[in-house]
């Protein structure tokens, strides 16, 4: 049986690596994106993976977008909630809008996507939901109360939904990446990044494909006994 997956934020960075890893595993992938049409089109032409545009923070847009994927590709068996944004600043400088945008996208997007697919997964007695958290949701980070709160919330969301899906063959897990060599990390000032890498025991940034391997495993039949877990892939930077 061919499975169908949606990867949010799936046309660049970690999301692109996940989309490719799932495709290589024989899964039909729909890559969601929010804004960059030119980059998404280039991704689709390069990979043969169809790209779909909607904002995961918009509940109605998610419902419509998932419905379109189902119409085009079939029922959705796998969702990887990877879409995420940053609006960094200390609490004293952070506006309500900066807080709301990050929480609505990073955490609200997980709810919106799960809401759109969970009933179908339960009825078909098989499903995989993988939520991309963050080391900064586990350990905190200066200037990121919005991002850390949203990513920390993902880990609680994952455990609670895992309870609801377990007896229906629907697993819900999270991956907490450390600092990965993506556009988001590339935006960090060089002197700050140097200090971050110095704190990573393996001595380097992670690669997107290293996260994607973990996602591919959690989406597989072989991971049927893994649910409610968080897999930390961070080079040893945060251990607990």
Taking only the tens place, the pLDDT of each residue in 53-64 is 999 999 999 999
Cβ pair 178, 239 in contact under 8 A: no
Residue given tokens 């994106």 in the structure block? 33
pLDDT of residue 189: 85
pLDDT of residue 1: 82
The structure's pTM equals 0.95
Q: What is the mean pLDDT of residues 8-26?
A: 97
CA distance 28 to 77: 10
Beta bridge partners of 175: 132, 231
Residues 6+ apart with CB under 8 A from 13: 180, 182, 183, 184, 208
Q: What is the mean pLDDT of residues 126-142?
A: 94
Q: What is the mean pLDDT of residues 193-203?
A: 93
Instruction: Give yes or no for residue 178 having a pLDDT over 90.
Output: yes
Q: pLDDT band at residue 99, thresholds of 50, 70 and 90?
A: very high
Instruction: Give yes or no for residue 186 having a pLDDT over 90.
Output: no
Beta bridge partners of 29: 5
Cβ pair 55, 76 in contact under 8 A: no
Of 34, 82, 83, nearest to 54 by C-alpha is 34
Instruction: Give yes or no for residue 107 having a pLDDT over 90.
Output: yes
In three-state secondary structure terms, 2 is: coil
How many CA atoms within 13 Å lie on the side-chain side of 180?
26
| pLDDT-above-90 percentage for the chain | 91
Given the residues 33, 52, 147, 179, select the one marked as catalytic. 147
240 catalytically annotated: no
Q: What is the mean pLDDT of residues 174-194?
A: 87
| Helical residues (DSSP H) of 2-142, grouped into ranges | 13-24, 37-47, 59-73, 96-102, 108-124, 135-139
Q: Starting at the edge strand that comes first in sequence, how are the strands of the sheet with 78-81 ordered?
A: 50-53, 28-33, 4-7, 78-81, 127-132, 170-177, 230-233
Cβ pair 20, 7 in contact under 8 A: no
How many CA atoms within 13 Å lie on the side-chain side of 114?
24
Instruction: Give yes or no for residue 81 having a pLDDT over 80.
Output: yes
Q: pLDDT band at residue 77, thresholds of 50, 70 and 90?
A: very high
Residues 6+ apart with CB under 8 A from 136: 144, 147, 148, 151
> Is 4-233 assigned to CATH 3.40.50.720?
yes
């Amino acid at each position: 049986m061919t499975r169908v997956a949606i990867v949010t934020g799936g046309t660049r960075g970690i999301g692109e690596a996940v989309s490719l890893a799932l495709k290589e595993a024989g899964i039909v992938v729909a890559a969601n994106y929010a804004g960059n049409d030119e980059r998404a089109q280039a991704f689709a032409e390069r990979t043969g993976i169809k790209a779909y545009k909607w904002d995961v923070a918009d509940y109605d847009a998610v419902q419509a977008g998932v419905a379109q994927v189902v119409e085009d590709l079939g029922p959705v068996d796998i969702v990887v909630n990877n879409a995420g944004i940053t609006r960094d600043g200390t609490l004293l400088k952070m506006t309500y809008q900066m807080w709301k945008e990050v929480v609505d996208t990073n955490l609200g997007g997980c709810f919106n996507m799960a809401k759109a697919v969970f009933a179908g997964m339960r009825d078909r007695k098989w499903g995989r939901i993988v939520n991309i958290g963050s080391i900064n949701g586990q350990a905190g980070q200066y200037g990121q109360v919005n991002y850390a709160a949203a990513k920390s919330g993902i880990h609680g969301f994952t455990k609670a939904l895992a309870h609801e899906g377990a007896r229906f063959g629907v697993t819900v897990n999270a991956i907490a990446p450390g600092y990965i060599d993506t556009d988001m990390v590339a935006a960090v000032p060089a002197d700050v990044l140097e200090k971050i890498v110095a704190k990573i025991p393996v001595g380097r940034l992670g690669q997107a494909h290293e996260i994607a391997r973990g996602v591919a495993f959690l989406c597989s039949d072989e991971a049927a006994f893994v649910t409610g877990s968080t897999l930390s892939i961070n080079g040893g930077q945060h251990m607990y």
